[in-house]
Amino acid sequence: MKLRTTVQQVRLGGAEYRVVTAAPQAPGVVLHDGQWSLQMVVDRPGAVYLAAAWALAARSPRSLIHLPLRADAGPVGPTEPDRLDLVLLHHSLAFPPSRWKAVRRRLGAGRPHTADIPDSDFPAEDDIDHVRRGFAGWRDELRFAGAARTLFLTGSATAFRWTGSWVRSLSTEGPAALRRHPRSAHYCVTLRHESTSPSRTSKGVPGLLHIEYAEGHVAGGGAARGAG
């Protein structure tokens, strides 16, 4: 997987943040807030782009991985929910989402860089040890937060690799599912805040992220596949 990015250091107060901004992929990924869940729709290039960002987040514990999804989403209709950007980051950064607006305002052109990430970064579904999640002290889960029209997904490298295997399936399995059942297929993955099912997190953000594969952004109906 390849992902075109820009890299820059942003100083804010006494802190410095490394921000890796992925090149926009219009209109391959659209993310918006919903009443009960966060909703994302991806086409195949968008799904590949998203999986590459997940892998980069697993590999980059000192960086904020910024996906400016609103940049190429087009105009928002009067009844359409607000579209959101996405930031993926390692929990060890302890980055407060409330600082993001100020950090984003300081972003410039950045230094171009292309990340080349092997598919082997993601484990196969059978290699994910779900039993470990029940152990005391388990921390390898994604956590959701929101600020400045941006969704923040925070987690460990393991959390991004495990959930990334489901995200990658949108591009590897989604197209075949829609070809087999073009009128009724619905292929998706669902990610949960801390792997639970709250309607909203403690910060007021929906606790579910539903990501649907749709060719040309025409969402299907019928049987769904959830993961996470």
222 within domain boundaries: no
Adjacent-strand bridge partners of 216: none
pLDDT of residue 119: 76
Q: How far apart are CA 211 and CA 170, in angstroms?
A: 8
225 within domain boundaries: no
Look at the chain and report how many structural domains it folds into. 1
The pLDDT profile of the chain, 228 residues, written as one tens digit per residue, is 889 999 999 999 889 999 999 998 767 899 998 777 899 999 999 999 999 999 999 999 999 999 999 876 555 555 567 899 999 999 999 999 999 999 999 999 999 999 998 877 876 666 555 555 554 445 678 999 999 999 999 999 989 998 999 999 999 988 888 888 776 678 899 998 886 655 666 567 888 999 999 876 533 333 333 343
224 within domain boundaries: no
| Count of other CB atoms within 10 angstroms of residue 98 | 10
What are the strands of the beta sheet with 15-22, ordered from one edge? 111-116, 2-12, 15-22, 63-67, 85-90, 150-155, 143-147
User: Domain limits at 62?
Assistant: 2-217
Query: Are 55 and 119 a contacting pair, CB within 8 Å?
Result: no
Adjacent-strand bridge partners of 89: 64, 154
**Which pair of tokens denotes residue 200?**
């909203």
pLDDT of residue 204: 76
Q: What secondary structure does DSSP assign to 200-212, as a single string?
A: B-TTS-BSEEEEE
47 within domain boundaries: yes
Query: Are 123 and 161 a contacting pair, CB within 8 Å?
Result: yes
Q: What secondary structure does DSSP assign to 28-77, as a single string?
A: SEEEE--SSSEEEEE-HHHHHHHHHHHHHHHH-TTEEEEE-GGGGS-PPP
95 within domain boundaries: yes
227 within domain boundaries: no
Query: Are 206 and 33 a contacting pair, CB within 8 Å?
Result: yes
223 within domain boundaries: no
- The pTM assigned to this predicted structure is 0.86
- Which positions ≥6 away from 175 have C-beta within 8 Å? 44, 213, 215
Tell me the backbone φ, ψ of residue 77, rounded to 5 degrees. -70, 165
75 within domain boundaries: yes
